[in-house]
Structure 1
Amino acid sequence: MAELVKQINQRKEKIEIAVKTFLSGGIAGCCAKTTVAPLDRVKILLQAHNQHYKHLGVFSTIHQVVVKEGFLGLYKGNGVQMLRIFPYAAIQFMSYEQYKKLIKKYLSENTHVIKLTAGSLAGLTAVVFTYPLDVVRARLAFQVKGEHIYLGLRHTVRSIVHVEGGTKALYRGLVPSILGMAPYAGVSFYSFEMSKIFCLEHFPDVLGKPSPLSTGGVVLILPAKLLCGGMAGAVAQTVSYPLDVVRRRLQLSTMLPDSHKYESGWIQTLIVIYKEHGMSQGLYRGLSVNYIRIMPMVAVSFTTYESIKQILGLDTGIDR
């Protein structure tokens, strides 16, 4: 009987930790995305060469969006983004923690393998569950005031399903998204974790503070969390950015004047972008704005995640 009670308590504790991790991840994702929502909108406009902004740079595009559509134009599509990002980030962070345990138990005890593999699998899991909302958000964010095709979330979903060939149209661009997310999420989580370990092992007095859980451990101070998160975002984005551009082109293909070029799939789309625009103006188009957005976004995301975990009583010290 005592053993049964012990097993029940252990299961309850695991469920409680999973729920707290889920909430921490969801809140962290919403905070991070809202922080950089204007830059997200600009990135989408530049990636797909919107006819009104394709000749402009990052800051001139921000200025023109405000002139043409008002300040709230910078947040177009952010409502749908929040509907997507809470479950996306919640699933990603929660599954990352679970994958780490499973990989360590059944596959490998190598720290590097665990973090890279768990991060990649967590990113893939989150993408598959929330991808249709990413497509809808991209369509809404790409529209310019006075030229609206879609009137909101429900109208966008109905239009895509009815006009573009059914439910599968909501998953257009999923393959390059998966191919890009695996290295992005893996490198992002891995870079953050390894940066955290480096800071706490080599500079515990400067970048660390005693854990609020009274475990005798050390956790990162807020500026150090932001620094580690920013570095992780920059490294990860550089690796996966071309596939992010391909994903956006496929998501927005029916809204582009030369949509027929992108009907043969993601490989052909990648080739077309490279042939027509090259690397800097094609496959890495909008990378500068992405660096500006990704560093604070990932920094805020990881920082908020770890801070909320601490508030909820979960350990955020060195994880080996």
Structure 2
Amino acid sequence: MSLNTEGEKSLEFVLKSLFSGGVAGMCSKTTVAPLDRIKILLQAHSKHYKHLGVFAGLNEIVQRETFFALWKGNGAQMVRIFPYAATQFTTFEIYRKYLGTLLGNRTQIDKFLAGSGAGVTAVMLTYPLDTIRARLAFQVRGEHVYTGIFHTGASIFKEEGGLRALYRGFIPTICGMIPYAGLSFYSFAKLKFLCMTYAPNYLCNKCNRNTGGLVLTLPAKLLCGGFAGAVAQSISYPLDVTRRRMQLAMMNTDTHKFGSGMVATMKLIYLENGIVKGLYRGMSINYLRAIPMVAVSFSTYELMKQMFDLDTGMKL
């Protein structure tokens, strides 16, 4: 095989991986957008929703704002999530291949490291859009400060300190992303391996295109993805709360104190609200959100990989 042919196949692999990851991210985030919004409102103690539970909060959004307000901020989320998920899944495939060669395939540590590296890479490239999306989702009807994605980004940049303001909360995000992304990819890969090894007759279908000759059934994909999401979120959730408080700190004079730094913000959250109602505020909704989100994300990506013949062990 010529170098040109290998290069073309490698480029094709990357482009297909980018598209597959982007589609997977958009599907998963749109599925759980209403839960994402109420999670943000609860995490940051919105005065209109902080006294409510998950389902009461969702109902209040509909009553106060309209049904479609459940997806407020999802436009910015879609602008962010396609490049984020595309980058994350594609760099995972690339990092996994190189780390597998470097470390050997006798352990699963390469998948954890590849997942962590992929998560950090994706966050670095798309973080400002996450900040913008959080600001839009936190707004309540009748109290709007921002009118859209570009207005939000420009306002934050001009009024709050330039690019640094758009990256407020970045450090706890990275600290949380390393265990979250690492455990997500590791757990999914491990569960996939266990299903194929110990229950292939029940949880797998035969497929000639796959290097192992097997692919997970859709229910198995959802099960493995959901469990992977639950494990990862349990470990990293306090850092997710810290990130949100820092991102939204400048929207109200009473919350400016949460924008001073990761450690100071975590300490303040703990002192004011404790662990359950502070650092793990909204955790129940996060399980409701994270399990289907990760399940849909991994399942869609696996289906797209099979559709594009990406399970054939392409060398980069």
Over aligned residue pairs, what C-alpha RMSD do you find?
1.4
1:56 equivalent in structure 2: 52
Residue 205 of structure 2 aligns to a residue whose secondary structure is strand
TM norm structure 1: 0.95
**CA distances 1:215-268 after superposition (whole Å, capped 9, x unpaired):** 561110000000000000000000000000000000000113423322420100
Residue 149 of structure 1 aligns to a residue whose secondary structure is coil
Residue 141 of structure 2 aligns to a residue whose secondary structure is coil
Residue 209 of structure 1 aligns to a residue whose secondary structure is strand
Aligned 1:259-298 pairs, distance under 5 A? 259-298=255-294
- Residue 103 of structure 1 deviates from its aligned partner by 1.3
Aligned 1:81-92 pairs, distance under 5 A? 81-92=77-88
1:197 equivalent to 2:160? Answer no
1:47 equivalent in structure 2: 43
Residue 181 of structure 2, aligned match among 173, 181, 185: 185
Aligned 1:1-320 pairs, distance under 5 A? 6-211=2-207, 213=209, 217-315=213-311
- Residue 108 of structure 1 deviates from its aligned partner by 4.9
**CA distance change for structure 1 residues 104 and 138 in 2, over 3 Å: closer, same or farther?**
same
Tell whether the 8 Å contact from 2:211 to 2:312 is kept in structure 1 after alignment.
no
**CA distances 1:9-57 after superposition (whole Å, capped 9, x unpaired):** 1111111111111111000000000000000000000000000000000
**CA distances 1:190-225 after superposition (whole Å, capped 9, x unpaired):** 000000000110000110111152756111000000
C-alpha distance in 2 between matches for 1:284 and 1:101: 35
Tell whether the 8 Å contact from 2:21 to 2:86 is kept in structure 1 after alignment.
yes
Tell whether the 8 Å contact from 2:247 to 2:259 is kept in structure 1 after alignment.
no
TM norm structure 2: 0.96
- Residue 313 of structure 1 deviates from its aligned partner by 1.5
AA of the residue aligned to 1:67:
Q
Residue 63 of structure 1 aligns to a residue whose secondary structure is helix
Residue 300 of structure 1 aligns to a residue whose secondary structure is helix
Residue 79 of structure 1 aligns to a residue whose secondary structure is helix
Q: Which moved more, 1:262-271 or 1:82-91?
A: 262-271
- Gap runs ≥5 in structure 1: none
- Gap runs ≥5 in structure 2: none
AA of the residue aligned to 1:97:
E
Tell whether the 8 Å contact from 1:210 to 1:216 is kept in structure 2 after alignment.
no
**CA distance change for structure 1 residues 275 and 224 in 2, over 3 Å: closer, same or farther?**
same
C-alpha distance in 2 between matches for 1:20 and 1:250: 36
**CA distance change for structure 1 residues 237 and 37 in 2, over 3 Å: closer, same or farther?**
same
Residue 108 of structure 2 aligns to a residue whose secondary structure is helix
AA of the residue aligned to 2:311:
D
**CA distances 1:257-292 after superposition (whole Å, capped 9, x unpaired):** 423322420100000000110011000000101000
C-alpha distance in 2 between matches for 1:55 and 1:73: 19
**CA distances 1:158-217 after superposition (whole Å, capped 9, x unpaired):** 110110011111000000000000100000000000000001100001101111527561
